[in-house]
């Protein structure tokens, strides 16, 4: 068995892909095949970017022109026996380096913890049994089952689906969910139009499906993007460029002044040792040794404030970059939003009601725009039925984690759930569902059939 090129998976029929990868759709892979496939085709993990060692990160804190001058001045003072001056200079340099090093190390630890917390689980068929496994455990040929709210763990070729829709904005930039199919496609079909494929890092917003893993780790489409980003060279920030330019200019000025002072004294016949100490004193006095420490402290405060807003920054100078940004170019507004929707007005029973609150936090109230009174569902049957329709014709769920509310599924359906909760309705008001007509863009509606009581049914 060999891997096909990524551009060919969508061309094959789903049955051909299963046969090519030697997988039974009803049984999945046998347990004894897992290790061999992982060894042959790689694990479902991304290659981490190359990082400096702890020692190198510490030494890079001193890679500044002004620090070079301070170190040279400290060495000259030490050679001349001025131990107190030398100790003070080295202490300032060391303190500045330690502040930058520990701040960067803390940011790295926070990033690692964040990666572990974002690990995705998947429902996988192996040896005829379904298992919930971490995405890192998947191998080429695994059968993965998908449902609304799931994050796709690897690139999959679909062989079964029912009203499956996927949010592929992280890969293609398209904010609207994409409907999927299992039919084979033409070889020249572009990635965004490959309806029989689902890709790692995308989210299932509606329906159910099953697919076979055809690419893992760095060989996935999102892995390719990760590799391209990893290969981008590091660029200096505006603040870094200004500091480098300032340090270089100051370096030349200080060296010129120290040299001129030394030569002037030497021509006057003064002692060389005395002139060296004067030159060192002039250089140390002219260097703003507190400047690197002050900049480091200011940037560290910025990193801390961003961390409180769930934005983790690894290197201190990056904090300044956004503050220097004058133009942000975007192809669509959906790229820069939080992907949250909120119901603000409801029209029911020939009356308009205003819904307060924003986002997915179920805090707010519904009141009549005309009468400016809080809506009472007992006396507003049309409003109640309207909110119940949004509650029943729904495939999404609102969850809370670490004080933040988020939606598993479609953002519009999440907004309908929250609006019902603001009126006091909840999952306890749901009736058992018997059947569903899923939403389709052609129909522009969704319908569900529910059991109301013994012997009777109710449709929404």
Query: pLDDT by residue (tens digit) across 340-383?
Result: 788 999 999 899 999 998 888 888 999 999 888 898 888 889 99
Task: Please state, in angstroms and rounded to a whole number, the distance separating the CA atoms of residues 35 and 139.
Answer: 9
Task: Please state, in angstroms and rounded to a whole number, the distance separating the CA atoms of residues 105 and 56.
Answer: 12
What Rg do the C-alpha atoms of the chain give, in angstroms? Answer: 32
Q: Could you identify the residue written with the tokens 């769930």?
A: 310
Write down the pLDDT at residue 210.
Answer: 92
Segment 297-320 mean pLDDT:
70
Task: Please state, in angstroms and rounded to a whole number, the distance separating the CA atoms of residues 207 and 288.
Answer: 63
Assess whether pLDDT exceeds 70 at residue 245.
yes
Query: pLDDT by residue (tens digit) across 262-295?
Result: 888 888 877 777 777 777 777 766 766 566 667 7
Give the pairing of strands 445-453 and 456-459. Answer: antiparallel
Q: In the structure, what pLDDT confidence band is assigned to residue 212 with cuts at 50, 70 and 90? A: very high
Write down the pLDDT at residue 260.
Answer: 86
Write down the pLDDT at residue 444.
Answer: 74
User: pTM of the prediction?
Assistant: 0.53
Write down the pLDDT at residue 344.
Answer: 92
Q: In the structure, what pLDDT confidence band is assigned to residue 457 with cuts at 50, 70 and 90? A: very low
Beta strands in 57-150 (DSSP E): 121-126, 129-134, 143-147
Q: How many residues in total does the chain contain?
A: 460
Write down the pLDDT at residue 267.
Answer: 82
- Report residue 281 as tokens: 């004193």
- Given a contact cutoff of 8 angstroms between Cβ atoms, the answer to whether 410 and 206 are in contact is yes
Closest CA to 4 of 269, 299, 215: 215
Write down the pLDDT at residue 288.
Answer: 67
- Report residue 182 as tokens: 């299992």
Assess whether pLDDT exceeds 70 at residue 335.
no
Residue 202's contacts (CB-CB under 8 Å, 6 or more residues apart) are: 151, 152, 166, 167, 168, 169, 170, 171
Assess whether pLDDT exceeds 60 at residue 458.
no
**Phi first, then psi: what are they for 125, rounded to 5°?**
-95, 120
Which residues have a catalytic role annotated? 331
Closest CA to 201 of 44, 87, 58: 44
Q: In the structure, what pLDDT confidence band is assigned to residue 332 with cuts at 50, 70 and 90? A: low
Query: pLDDT by residue (tens digit) across 383-411?
Result: 999 998 888 888 788 888 777 888 877 78
Q: Please state whether 349 falls in left (phi above 0), alpha (psi between -120 and 50) or beta.
A: left
Q: Please state whether 372 falls in left (phi above 0), alpha (psi between -120 and 50) or beta.
A: left
Write down the pLDDT at residue 348.
Answer: 92
SS3 179: strand
Q: Do domains 6-44+138-229 and 345-459 have the same CATH topology?
A: no
Give the H/E segment covering residue 197. Answer: strand 197-198
- Pick the range with the lowest mean pLDDT from 166-175, 237-246, 386-395: 237-246
List 130's β-bridge partners, or say none.
125
Span 345-459 CATH architecture = 3-Layer(aba) Sandwich (3.40)
Write down the pLDDT at residue 280.
Answer: 72
- Given a contact cutoff of 8 angstroms between Cβ atoms, the answer to whether 142 and 43 are in contact is no
Closest CA to 438 of 180, 198, 153: 180
Assess whether pLDDT exceeds 60 at residue 454.
no
Write down the pLDDT at residue 196.
Answer: 93
List 353's β-bridge partners, or say none.
346, 368
Task: Please state, in angstroms and rounded to a whole number, the distance separating the CA atoms of residues 126 and 73.
Answer: 67
Query: pLDDT by residue (tens digit) across 87-146?
Result: 877 887 787 778 777 767 776 676 565 555 456 788 999 988 888 888 889 999 999 999
Q: Could you identify the residue written with the tokens 């003064």?
A: 270
In our burial notation (b when 16+ CB lie closer than 10 A, e otherwise), range 204-218 reads bbbbbbbbbbbbbbb
Write down the pLDDT at residue 32.
Answer: 84
Write down the pLDDT at residue 310.
Answer: 66
Q: In the structure, what pLDDT confidence band is assigned to residue 241 with cuts at 50, 70 and 90? A: confident
What CATH code is assigned to 6-44+138-229? 2.70.150.10
Averaged pLDDT of the chain: 80
CA dihedral 100, 102, 103, 106 (to 10 degrees): 160
Domain boundaries, the chain: 6-44+138-229, 54-114+234-323, 345-459
């Amino acid at each position: 068995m060999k891997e096909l090129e990524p551009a060919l998976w969508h061309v094959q029929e789903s049955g051909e892909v299963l046969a090519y990868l030697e997988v039974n759709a009803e049984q999945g892979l046998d347990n004894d095949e897992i290790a061999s496939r992982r060894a042959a085709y790689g694990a479902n993990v991304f290659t981490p970017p190359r990082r400096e060692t702890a020692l190198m990160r510490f030494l890079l804190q001193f890679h500044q022109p002004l620090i070079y001058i301070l170190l040279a001045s400290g060495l000259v003072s030490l050679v001349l026996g001025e131990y107190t001056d030398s100790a003070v200079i080295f202490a300032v340099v060391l303190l500045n380096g330690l502040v930058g090093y520990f701040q960067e190390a803390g940011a790295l630890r926070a990033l690692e913890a964040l990666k572990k917390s974002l690990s995705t689980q998947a429902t996988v068929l192996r040896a005829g049994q379904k298992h919930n496994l971490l995405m890192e455990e998947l191998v080429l040929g695994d059968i993965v089952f998908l449902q609304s709210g799931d994050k796709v763990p690897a690139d999959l070729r679909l062989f079964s689906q029912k009203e499956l829709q996927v949010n592929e904005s992280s890969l293609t930039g398209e904010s609207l969910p994409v409907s999927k199919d299992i039919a084979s496609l033409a070889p020249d079909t572009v990635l965004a139009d490959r309806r029989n494929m689902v890709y790692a890092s995308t989210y299932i917003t509606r329906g159910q499906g099953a697919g076979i893993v055809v690419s893992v780790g760095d060989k996935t489409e999102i892995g390719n993007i990760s590799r391209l980003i990893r290969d981008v060279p590091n660029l200096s920030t505006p603040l870094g460029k200004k500091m480098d330019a300032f340090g270089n200019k100051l370096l030349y000025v200080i060296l010129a002044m120290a040299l001129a002072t030394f030569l002037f004294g030497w021509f006057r016949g003064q002692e060389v040792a005395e002139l060296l100490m004067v030159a060192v004193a002039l250089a140390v006095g002219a260097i703003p040794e507190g400047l690197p420490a002050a900049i480091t402290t200011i940037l560290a405060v910025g990193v801390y404030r961003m961390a409180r807003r769930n934005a983790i920054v690894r290197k201190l100078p990056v904090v300044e970059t956004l503050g220097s940004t004058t133009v942000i170019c975007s192809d669509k507004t959906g790229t820069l939003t939080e992907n949250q929707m909120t119901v603000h007005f409801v029209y029911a029973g020939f009356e308009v009601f205003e819904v307060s609150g924003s986002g997915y936090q179920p805090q707010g109230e519904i009141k009549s725009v005309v009468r400016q009174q809080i809506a009472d569902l007992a006396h507003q049957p049309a409003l109640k039925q309207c909110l119940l329709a949004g509650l029943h014709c729904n495939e999404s769920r609102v969850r809370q984690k670490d004080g933040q509310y988020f939606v598993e599924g479609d953002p519009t359906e999440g907004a309908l759930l929250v609006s019902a909760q603001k009126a006091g309705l909840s999952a306890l008001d749901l009736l058992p569902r018997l059947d569903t007509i899923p939403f389709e863009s052609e129909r522009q509606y969704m319908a569900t059939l529910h059991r109301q009581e013994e012997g009777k049914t109710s449709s929404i």
